[in-house]
Chains A and B, each alone.
Chain A
Amino acid sequence: MTAQTLSPAEGALLGSAYALACRECGAEYPLDASYACLECFGPLEVAYRPASVTREQIEAGPASMWRYDALLPVEPGASSRPGLQPGFTRLVKADNLARELGARAVWVKDDSGNPTHSFKDRVVAVALENGRRLGFRTIACASTGNLANAVAAAGSRAGLDSVVFVPSNLEAGKIVTTAVYGGTLVAIEGNYDDVNRLCSEIAANREWGFVNVNLRPYYAEGSKTMGFEIAEQLGWRLPDAYVSPVASGSLLTKVDKAFREFIRLGLVEDRAYQVFGAQATGCSPVSQAFAEGKDIIRPVRPDTIAKSLAIGNPADGPYALDAVRRTGGAIADVSDEEIVEGIKLLARTEGIFAETAGGVVVATYRKLLAEGGIDPEAEVVLLNTGDGLKTLDAVAPTSVPTFTISPAYADFESAYSGENA
């Protein structure tokens, strides 16, 4: 099969999507289960013909990510088919956090409110629609945990078999919250990059829809909805900046893409904004490339408590660098200690319990503020991609009772007075 250029009229349409196109060389392919360009190995991305949608049409849609279905590679009616109906999570004005950090305006886009408590429900929803369309009876994934939860749950709701591959050293909470859905859960003795590589080989030999391998072009588009929601929930406008965690680099680039699509559609005013990326120092290949001014990302072997960000060989890293540099943003990294502080800072100031990835974002924002890398006057949206209940180990040692006493009033008075003296 050779690459070809499909005109919108020739390609089969899927919403306003008409082809898969190589991000590197532009070669176009039909909307089937493929992810790498035959010409240059570049990643394939969904290509759309110009769409037209109004604020009113979106506002009249369901209170889920499917309100943006006109801008996604799905057949109409996704909200009425069996699935988890994720999205339209809350955007929280974080005034207490802003005050503590000396910043003017901070928001938290809290995706812990999704059905399986992470933003991965969004990407899986789009992958599932396409897996079903392409006739797969089994959906599968390589995962650092959150995706495992999302695939197992979505498979159960949709009546499809699921096979999920994870590193065997994953947090216990993420094992339980995957296995409970009853699909096949395969623990691999290796890190995420090992798991990913194995899945690439399995995907080539099985008729399975791997959401982040052969369905990846569709899957990745689901992340745009986090950006769409931020703009809509701010009152149809863009913030000055956002801070995204960086694992593969896909979320950061897709939120940027969402903002540009809204500008192009005239749904928000065209204005400059800055994109910031956050990594854990123990797995910071994109941050290192940014600091060194390089375009090529040298893979690393991850060693961090932020396991959901522990991708040592990030496929979308170059595109994350492009987005950050284009907008005058930055990518920085923080230590495991700073991550724990970040989780507890957000919990203490805003009542939001983020998983380690959210701690990475808060801590990186704080670091950028302290170092002058981000303007304290900028209105910033922090992306919290998951729920702290999944990564209890990170904060358990330092999150303990203030005091333990006998059930006697005098003991309470004594201990409480001592604590608050």
Chain B
Amino acid sequence: MSIALKVPTILRTYTGGAAEVAVSGGTLAEAIADLDAQYPGIGARVLDDEGRLRRFVNVYVNDDDVRFLEDLQTPTPDGANVSIIPAVAGG
């Protein structure tokens, strides 16, 4: 099970500068857990103290915002693309 996870600039200090890393897991929660196992500490940047996605983080699985899907329980099948992007506004 390999998932391509895009790392935002502000988290690349954890990944040695890598913009994309391979993780595994059947759900987004498992994928983030594996990410944290590979790069200790990065999980706490994405999840709050209660293990929920932080309020100002947007996560997309195959281009869909997981808040429209099943949040952390969103399935991440083999070959899925996951993007973590800080929320920004505009207009």
CB neighbours (8 Å) of A16 from chain B are none
Interface check A248, CB cutoff 8 A: yes
CA distance A197 to B67 in the complex (A): 15
Residues in A with CB closer than 8 Å to B45 are 38-41
Residue B62, interface by CB 8 Å: no
CA gap between A146 and B91 in the complex, in Å: 7
Contact of A315 among B13, B68, B83, B89 (CB under 8 A): B89
Q: A315–B8 contact, CB under 8 A? A: no
Q: Are B91 and A197 in contact (CB under 8 A)?
A: no
B83 contact set on A, CB distance < 8 A: 197, 201
Given A41-B54, A41-B56, A296-B55, A250 and B91 touching (CB < 8 A)? Answer: yes
Residues of A within 8 A of B58 (CB): 197, 313
- Contact: B54 with A141, CB < 8 Å? no
A197 engages B86 (CB within 8 Å): no
B90 within 8 A of A: yes
Identify the interface centre among B9, B19, B60, B91: most chain A CB within 10 Å of its CB.
B91
Q: Which of A205-261 contact B (CB under 8 A)?
A: 211-213, 216, 247-250
Question: Complex Cα distance A309/B13, Å?
Answer: 36
Number of interface residues of A (CB under 8 A): 46
B82 CB to closest chain A CB (Å) equals 13
- Asked whether, in the complex, the Cβ of A216 is within 8 Å of the Cβ of B54, the reply is no
Please give the residue numbers on chain B whose beta carbons come within 8 Å of chain A beta carbons, in ascending order.
6, 8-10, 13, 19, 45-46, 54-58, 60, 65, 67-68, 83, 85-91
Additional pairs, 9, CB under 8 Å, beyond known A41-B57, A248-B90: A36-B8, A40-B54, A41-B56, A146-B91, A200-B8, A211-B90, A249-B89, A313-B87, A315-B89
Query: Can you list 28 contacts pairing A with B, beta carbon distance less than 8 Å?
Result: A24-B55, A24-B56, A36-B8, A36-B10, A43-B56, A43-B87, A120-B91, A143-B91, A144-B90, A147-B91, A196-B90, A200-B85, A204-B19, A211-B90, A212-B90, A212-B91, A216-B88, A247-B89, A247-B91, A296-B55, A299-B65, A311-B89, A313-B87, A315-B56, A315-B87, A315-B89, A316-B89, A318-B55
